[in-house]
């Protein structure tokens, strides 16, 4: 048994990482990883490393197709960036406890002895303790490698060309000025290198930097070497100077452009991290799926500056869409029945659909499921009319939706936990009730049965005094049982919501007098005093309020010795009718006071008669008073004793003349 348990724990701890790319074979690699996940019951993550090179833009559609396919198979999509792809994969694998890495064999060969180590070779060297599965590629991608350099280079804009010309024209003018001031050629060369750096900073891509490097050499040769206005030179060392200047300029421009690209990626990563942190803080404070979805859509609205439509799952059905709009005019016609039908399809099939996908591409929005495991908690729609999402926006969108799904899953788990706690509490209450009934009702029932048997079998042998005492005992026990049953029925109806309350206007003094008629005969041993203001009219269910008074007076009789004084007062106070039942008995210990209104709580106080309380009376009293929008509290009665005070709403008296 222990061996099987260890095997199960091992399977559950597996984490498989598949590497995403735009290569044609990547779909096969994702398929293989998904089969491994299914067999091992492992966690599934798909990782894409952004390098910042412009070739990523060319394969955007293919890469997005692979990302969607991995997500469809249940993978968690993660995007990171860095120039060294094996290092980025290794770092994520270590931080996320990845146990297996699945990667393709495409482009993983050395062309000659002096070639750099392939990606898989470097990955094996960096993480030797993680299993790396290399999937053979049936589709060779040599044609993919032979693409021209021009396809990988982003074409500069007219603004970039203009800035490049201006920068090197200014550099030439400064060079001519330096030459007239008799500065050395070395100073002039550094001016052009500075121009290359400035070009890299103010333009996009590598092309302007490389072209600027070549232009700077020609400008230096044409304007600043003898003979001027000619590409000929009389100096022997100038060709070497030109060559070094060209190499230095190209390397400087390329490094500056690369540094600029990675700085941009780092800024995006920091922004994404801050966004996720802020979203997580907001979601932790949210309560319920609707509030969580509202916070998520508000965050996406601010981040993407796009209209958002949201659908939440309520009672197993997808609700009507809710719109979060930037511009009301542009937000029209995205909550149509056709769009809602696409959102419903996403909910039922648990995969994306709509614009830019293969399912319902004619839709105006891209719809994504808020999914956690096998559960779908809602659907988010993003209009795609103007332009599609870039990698950065898409990665933020996926991350925020994953945070939303996690928050909804936690909220649902908390709700289920609360429901289970309520059920457990109810079961405990039922168990306590059965235990109390079986134990405490046995005593009066046995007394009634024994006394009745004595009267039936030996009645002719008993004198009248003994018979009268037996009759009294039977009556007292039956009255106690009737009171217990009444309390049980009332509190059960209150908890189930079946107790119908009929409000009428009643005078307090009449209600108090009526309740005294229902008190046990033993009240003759106590001095009961009433002190009620006249014409205090309160709104109540008279039957239930009498039951409250009977319980409070019986409680005072039970826990005070014979001869004690019990005072019942009825007054107006703070715009309400107030009734109090006070006694001069021993009182209730301080440690018991916080629990006396709890159901089935009896404490350790000794009862004056032989019957043990079930702990229902005071709990029932508080429930009845709360149904009347009143309060029931316990205070100490000076110098000793208890004082139970409850309030009722006053009735409005209308005089008709």
Domain ranges of the chain: 2-149, 153-264, 287-415, 442-493, 504-649
* DSSP string for residues in 334-356: SSSHHHHHHHHHHHHHTS-EETT
At 386 the pLDDT is 58
Residue 115 has pLDDT above 90, yes or no: no
The stretch 477-488 carries a mean pLDDT of 74
The stretch 66-89 carries a mean pLDDT of 81
3-state helix, strand, coil in the chain (%, to 5): 55, 15, 30
CA 577, CA 625: separation in Å to the nearest integer?
Answer: 12
For 384-406, how does the pLDDT look when each residue is reduced to its tens digit (9 = 90+)? 765 667 667 777 788 888 888 88
Pairing verdict, β 43-50 and 76-81: parallel
Q: Considering the domain 2-149, what is its CATH architecture?
A: 3-Layer(aba) Sandwich (3.40)
- Number of neighbours of residue 157 by Cβ within 10 angstroms: 13
Residue 263 has pLDDT above 70, yes or no: yes
For 565-589, how does the pLDDT look when each residue is reduced to its tens digit (9 = 90+)? 999 999 998 889 999 999 988 888 8
At 110 the pLDDT is 53
Helices and strands, counts by H and E, the chain: 20, 18
| N residues, the chain | 657
3-state secondary structure 563-614: CCEEEEEEEEECCEEEEEEEECCCCCCCCCHHHCCCCCCCCCCCCCCCCCCC
Q: Regarding predicted confidence, which is higher, 235 or 114?
A: 235
Query: For the chain, what is the mean pLDDT?
Result: 78
Which of 645, 501, 499 has its CA nearest to residue 576? Answer: 645
The first and second tokens of residue 232, run together, are: 């000929």
At 285 the pLDDT is 83
At 612 the pLDDT is 46
CB-count exposure of residue 559 (10 Å: 0-12, 13-18, 19+): buried
For 137-185, how does the pLDDT look when each residue is reduced to its tens digit (9 = 90+)? 655 444 444 444 444 455 677 888 888 889 888 988 988 888 888 888 7
For 594-609, how does the pLDDT look when each residue is reduced to its tens digit (9 = 90+)? 878 876 666 655 444 4
The first and second tokens of residue 614, run together, are: 């079930």
CA 529, CA 582: separation in Å to the nearest integer?
Answer: 10
At 477 the pLDDT is 79
Pairing verdict, β 322-324 and 353-354: unpaired
CA 73, CA 34: separation in Å to the nearest integer?
Answer: 7
At 571 the pLDDT is 92
Q: Regarding predicted confidence, which is higher, 303 or 240?
A: 303
Phi–psi pair at 308, nearest 5 degrees: -130, 135
* pLDDT tier for residue 111 given thresholds of 50, 70 and 90: low
At 611 the pLDDT is 45
At 4 the pLDDT is 46
Please name the helix (run of DSSP H) or strand (run of DSSP E) that holds residue 531, with its range, or none: strand 527-532
Phi–psi pair at 646, nearest 5 degrees: -135, 155
Tell me which CATH code domain 504-649 carries. Answer: 3.30.565.10
Tell me which CATH code domain 287-415 carries. Answer: 3.30.450.40
Residue 182's SS3 state is coil
Residue 7 has pLDDT above 60, yes or no: no
Nearest 5 degrees, angle CA 253-CA 259-CA 265?
Answer: 140
Asked if the bond preceding 533 is cis, omega within 30° of 0, the reply is no
For 494-540, how does the pLDDT look when each residue is reduced to its tens digit (9 = 90+)? 666 666 788 899 999 999 988 888 776 556 788 889 999 888 899 99
At 51 the pLDDT is 74
For 201-221, how does the pLDDT look when each residue is reduced to its tens digit (9 = 90+)? 787 766 777 777 778 778 877
Q: Regarding predicted confidence, which is higher, 616 or 637?
A: 637
CA 378, CA 401: separation in Å to the nearest integer?
Answer: 10
Tell how far CA 102 is from the center of its chain: 31
At 9 the pLDDT is 47
- Number of neighbours of residue 391 by Cβ within 10 angstroms: 19
Provide the percentage of residues in the chain whose pLDDT is more than 70: 79
At 241 the pLDDT is 67
């Amino acid at each position: 048994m222990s061996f099987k348990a260890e095997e199960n724990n091992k399977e559950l701890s597996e984490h498989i990482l598949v590497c995403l790319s735009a290569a044609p074979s990547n779909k096969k690699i994702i398929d293989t990883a998904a089969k491994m996940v299914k067999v091992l019951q492992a966690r599934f993550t798909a990782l894409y490393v952004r390098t910042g090179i412009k070739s990523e833009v060319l394969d955007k559609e293919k890469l997005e197709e692979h990302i969607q396919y991995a997500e469809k198979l249940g993978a968690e999509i993660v995007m990171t960036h860095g120039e060294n792809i094996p290092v980025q994969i290794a770092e994520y694998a270590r931080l996320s406890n990845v146990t297996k890495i699945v990667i393709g064999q495409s482009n993983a060969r050395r062309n000659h002895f002096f070639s750099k180590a392939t990606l898989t070779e470097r990955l094996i060297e960096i993480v030797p303790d993680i299993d790396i599965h290399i999937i053979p590629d049936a589709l060779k991608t040599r044609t993919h490698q032979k693409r021209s350099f021009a396809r990988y280079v982003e074409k500069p804009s007219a603004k970039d060309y203009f800035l490049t010309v201006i920068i090197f024209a200014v550099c030439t003018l400064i060079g001519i000025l330096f030459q007239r001031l008799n500065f050395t050629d070395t100073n002039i060369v550094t001016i052009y290198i500075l121009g290359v750096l400035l070009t890299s900073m103010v333009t996009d891509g590598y092309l302007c930097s490389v072209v600027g490097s070549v232009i700077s050499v020609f400008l230096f040769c044409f304007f600043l070497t003898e003979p001027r206005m000619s590409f000929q030179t009389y100096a022997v060392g100038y060709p070497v100077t030109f060559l070094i200047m060209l190499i230095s300029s190209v390397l400087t421009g390329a490094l500056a452009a690369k540094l600029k690209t990675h700085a941009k990626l780092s800024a995006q990563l920091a922004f994404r991290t801050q966004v996720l942190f802020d979203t997580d803080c907001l979601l932790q404070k949210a309560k319920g799926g609707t509030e969580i979805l509202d916070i998520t859509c508000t965050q996406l609205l601010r981040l993407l500056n796009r209209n958002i439509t949201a659908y939440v799952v309520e009672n197993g059905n997808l609700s009507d869409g809710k719109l979060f709009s930037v511009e009301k005019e542009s937000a029209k016609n995205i909550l149509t029945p056709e769009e809602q039908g696409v959102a419903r399809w996403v909910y039922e099939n648990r995969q994306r659909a709509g614009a830019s996908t293969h399912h319902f591409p004619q839709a105006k929005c891209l719809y994504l499921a808020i999914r956690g495991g096998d559960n779908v908690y809602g659907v988010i729609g993003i209009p795609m009319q103007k332009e599609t999402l870039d990698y950065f926006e898409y990665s933020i969108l996926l991350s925020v939706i994953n945070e939303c799904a996690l928050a909804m899953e936690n909220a649902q788990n908390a709700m289920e936990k609360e429901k289970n706690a309520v059920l457990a509490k109810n079961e405990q209450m039922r168990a306590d009730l059965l235990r109390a009934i079986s134990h405490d009702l046995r005593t009066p029932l046995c007394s009634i049965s024994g006394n009745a048997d004595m009267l039936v079998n030996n009645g002719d042998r008993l004198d009248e005094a003994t018979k009268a005492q037996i009759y009294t005992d039977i009556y007292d026990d039956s009255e106690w049982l009737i009171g217990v049953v009444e309390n049980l029925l009332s509190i059960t109806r209150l908890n189930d919501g079946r107790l119908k309350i009929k409000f009428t206007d009643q005078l307090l003094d009449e209600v108090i007098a009526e309740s005294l008629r229902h008190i046990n005969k033993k009240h003759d041993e106590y001095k009961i005093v009433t002190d009620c203001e006249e014409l205090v009219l309160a709104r109540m269910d008279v039957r239930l309020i009498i039951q409250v008074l009977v319980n409070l007076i019986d409680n005072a009789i039970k826990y005070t010795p014979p001869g004690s004084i019990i005072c019942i007062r009825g007054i107006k106070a703070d715009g309400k009718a107030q009734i109090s039942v006070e006694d001069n008995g021993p009182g209730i210990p301080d440690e018991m006071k916080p629990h006396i209104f709890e159901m089935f709580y009896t404490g350790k106080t000794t009862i004056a008669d032989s019957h043990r309380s079930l702990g229902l009376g005071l709990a029932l009293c508080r429930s009845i008073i709360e149904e009347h929008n009143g309060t029931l509290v316990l205070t100490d009665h000076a110098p000793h004793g208890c004082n139970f005070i409850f309030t009722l709403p006053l009735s409005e008296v209308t005089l008709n003349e």
